[in-house]
Amino acid sequence: MYAYDEIDRTLVNERVSEFRDQVKRRLSGELTEDEFKILRLQNGVYLQLHAYMFRVAIPYGTLATNQLRALAHVARKYDRGYGHFTTRQNIQFNWIKLAELPDALADLAKVGIHAMQTSGNNMRNVTSDQWAGVAPGEIEDPRIWSELIRQHTTLHPEFSFLPRKFKIAITASDHDRAAIKIHDIGLKLIKNEEGETGFEVLVGGGLGRTPFIGKTIKHFVHGRDILSYIEAILRVYNQYGRRDNIYKARIKILVHELGIEKFSREVEEEWQHIRNSSLQIDDEVIEDIRSRFTYPNYEKLPHMPDELRQATADADFEAWRKNSVSPHKVQGYSIVTISLKPIGAPPGDATAEQMDALADLADKYSFGEIRVGHEQNLALPHVAKRDLPALWKALDKLGLATPNVNLITDIIACPGLDYCSLANARSIPIAQELTRRFANHELANLIGRLHINISGCINACGHHHVGHIGILGVEKNGEEIYQITIGGRADEAAALGNLIGPGVKFDEVADVIEDVVEAYLALRERPEELFIDTVKRLGVEPFKERVYATR
Amino acid sequence: MPLVNGGKIADDSFVKLAVDTPLPESGDILVPAERFVGEAEVLLKRAGRVGVIWPNSRDIDELVPYLGKVAAVALVFPTFRDGRAYSQARLLRERYNYRGELRATGQILRDQFVFMLRAGFDSFEVKKQADAEAFMQTAKRYSVFYQPTGDGRITALHRRMQLRHSEGVGT
């Protein structure tokens, strides 16, 4: 865990007081809605279909139990008793009153949580691997660098009014759980031949109307230079990024229009001016940040404790363990993923009661720490294996032990037309219907790892382009039409999916997905061949045939 | 539009000229970039100070040869959501060591003062009188800064280092 000190807390409080003043000026009419809009967005406040939506940052996805309880408190006191975890390591509240927002922010500030830059055309919440610091085989804990970058990008005086939003993600593992290739800047922590820590830097990834996979702009930037290198990229983007058309304003368009070679030359030239400035990070600064991350005092525990050995006889427990429990870097411990995808419910929602109860469980079983992943699930990062059976029972009572992590019902979905003012189509009801169709665990297990991503509009908050199966809702002649893609993925082999054919109506989506899945089961070479691999081997055609032959 | 200069509401000694306004015999003038570049020699020879209004889409490098001779550079925020002039300001102050008046013009609200001060602006044509009056109070809103810029304010990272070192003394 990272501990905010007095300096960080002062800044967060100063921000709350500024926002309180801005809300007051808006309510008195001193600020027009147009002026206020940018200011509220920079504090995570959107005007949605029914009410204001409030988006809170969970930097690099790490939460302490008192922070999770504070989120539960906000859900209960200022909202309707639940929150929605998003693909960006944020939590959103959908029914908040503008006049109460400063109080909600002040309550969160007490535990070092804020909503700075969770929206607006500035640098957004820095995201990272939700297993950071506990995943076996990572170079080092990427959160140390995430925190450095979080600080540097918070209230940055040059880059708070960029052409468009700007997202940075960091991973330190070969298996990318942070989806760095679909971010404006993706950073992969690596060591060079001298054993020094640095980054492979990718730029220009992103989804939305014009999706791109990020391209490597530099194979190695030393850790001490990472802030100046990011600053150089941002400065080039701030000056040359398009501002005439909101749809062409992201850095991915600039990189695409200039070409990565020309863009990287511009960045290089800028970087040479600033790389030896005060932006250079000395080891002492990094050590200071590192020292403020605390790690559990792990016990020496057996690889296979008796409690776990006995519990394996229970088929239900084993079904859950198989997909929710992952290897930990310390022997005797596990990482437990908590599915926020119960059958028939909106993906990513958690009630205040669930959040409070989870905080209690994290205190009891996970050294007081919780993680939030971009798949809209939570995780307990340090669970002793001997505690797994007891934890499972407790989670089950809370409705948080659905054994579907990474299976077909572990769906990523944006809020869609039910909440969002941008959406053209519903997402949540599609997700709900699909979870019902594939509720049978035996069937889901037989299908194996398969990610479905659903977006209710072209902005792609549900990351449909990179779903193994992607579903995009659009509006056509007053009707919701859904376009289906297959073959996308968001990991280290990130790829955009391909359309399987013409869009289908709302009522047909679940049938079509069933057809796609049946086609896969018939086409796969062996049970171990995952859906995504079958699609890669065979392309779209056989799936298209199966789906459209009878339609 | 009130002008804040040196932290106070001040009179503006500069008269803004359009591209084709006849040149007044004396007094301080602010000239659009296009006219300034075209007539620099004539403009700089006359009595009175000369400032230039530089658009946010024009390469700042073009202005660099004149920086020792101009009394003011006015950068433009056509709307407050267009942040290009922040980069221009930092380049002028930090890369090219420009020390004259650096003025923010356009849609300037109190909510940008801290960012602007940090980027190197010291003069502000403020859209609303109430915002101009709130300048000092708003400018002091923050005491913690995470990034190093040319304004020389100590960053949180370095303040922590100092605290750590001072705590270390005598132990």
Instruction: State the best of B138, B141, B147 to mutate against chain A, taking most chain A CBs within 10 Å.
Output: B147
Q: How would you classify residue A137: left for phi > 0, otherwise alpha for psi between -120 and 50, otherwise beta?
A: left
Chain A residues whose beta carbon lies within 8 Å of the beta carbon of residue B61: none
Q: Do the beta carbons of residue A242 and residue A254 sit within 8 Å?
A: yes
Measure Cα distances from A213 to A3, A237, A466, A494 in Å.
34, 18, 10, 7
Residue that has been written with the tokens 């506990």 in this structure: A134
What is the enclosing helix (H) or strand (E) of A10? helix A6-27
B156 touches chain A (CB under 8 A): yes
Pairing of strands B101-106, B123-125: parallel
Residues of chain B neighbouring A284 (CB-CB closer than 8 A): 161
Query: What per-residue confidence (pLDDT) applies to A49?
Result: 81
| Terminal Cα distance for chain A, rounded | 53
Within 8 A by CB and 6+ apart from A423, the residues are A414, A415, A416, A417, A456, A457, A473
Degrees to nearest 5, angle at CA A365 with A364 and A368: 70
Residues of chain A found within 8 Å of residue B115, distances taken between Cβ atoms: 155, 157-158, 160
Distance CA A265, CA A127 (A): 27
Model-level ipTM above the cut of 0.85: yes
In A, what residues contact B, Cβ < 8 A? Answer: 5, 7-8, 10-11, 14, 17-18, 22, 30, 35, 38-39, 121, 151-152, 154-162, 235, 238-239, 243, 273, 277-279, 284-285, 288
Q: What share of chain A is helix, strand, coil (3-state, %, to 5)?
A: 40, 20, 40
Is A158 in Cβ contact with B119 (below 8 Å)? yes
- Block means of pLDDT (10 residues each) for chain B, 171 residues, are 95 96 94 96 94 98 97 97 98 98 98 98 97 96 96 92 73 45
**Which pLDDT does position A4 carry in this prediction?**
87
Residue of B nearest to A35 (CA): B80
DSSP character at residue A131: T
Phi, psi of A316 (to 5 degrees): -65, -40
Tell me the mean pLDDT per 10 residues along chain A, length 551.
89 97 96 94 91 95 98 98 96 94 97 96 97 96 97 97 98 97 98 96 97 98 98 98 95 97 98 96 92 95 97 97 97 98 96 98 98 97 98 97 98 93 95 97 97 97 97 96 98 98 97 97 97 98 93 80
The per-residue b/e assignment along B6-15, b for 16 or more CB within 10 angstroms, e otherwise, is eeeeeeebbe
With an 8 Å Cβ cutoff, are B143 and A35 in contact? no
Could B87 and A277 be called an inter-chain contact, meaning their C-beta atoms sit closer than 8 Å? no
Identify the residue among B160, B164, B167 best suited for mutation to test binding to A, counting A beta carbons within 10 A and taking the highest: B160
Put simply, whether B141 touches A (Cβ < 8 Å) is: yes
Distance between CA atoms of residues B71 and A496, nearest Å: 54
User: CA-CA distance, B109 to A35, in Å (whole number)?
Assistant: 9
Q: Is the entire prediction scored with pTM above 0.95? A: yes
- Asked if A285 lies within 8 A of B161 by C-beta distance, the reply is yes
A32: nearest CA in chain B? B109
Closest-CA residue of chain B to A5: B160
Q: Report CA Rg, chain B.
A: 18
**B130 with A22: Cβ contact below 8 A:** no
Sheet containing strand B8-10, edge to edge, reads B8-10, B3-5, B123-125, B101-106, B72-77, B50-54, B28-32, B14-16
Collect contacts of A296-303 with beta carbons under 8 A, ≥24 apart: A296/A367, A296/A369, A296/A382, A298/A330, A298/A332, A298/A333, A298/A382, A299/A332, A299/A384, A300/A331, A300/A332, A301/A331, A301/A332, A301/A333, A301/A384, A301/A385, A301/A386, A302/A331, A302/A332, A302/A385, A303/A331, A303/A332, A303/A385
* A488/A467 Cα distance (integer angstroms): 5
Residue B171 has a pLDDT of: 45
Give the neighbor-by-neighbor strand order of the sheet with A185-191. A127-128, A168-171, A185-191, A197-203, A215-222
Contact B118, A157 (CB under 8 A): yes
CA atoms of A125 and A109, how far apart (whole Å):
16
Take residue A412 and report the two structure tokens written for it. 């990523």
Continuous H helices in A28-170: 33-41, 65-78, 101-109, 142-153
A68 neighbors A355 (Cβ within 8 angstroms): yes
Separation in Å, CA of A255 to nearest CA in chain B: 18
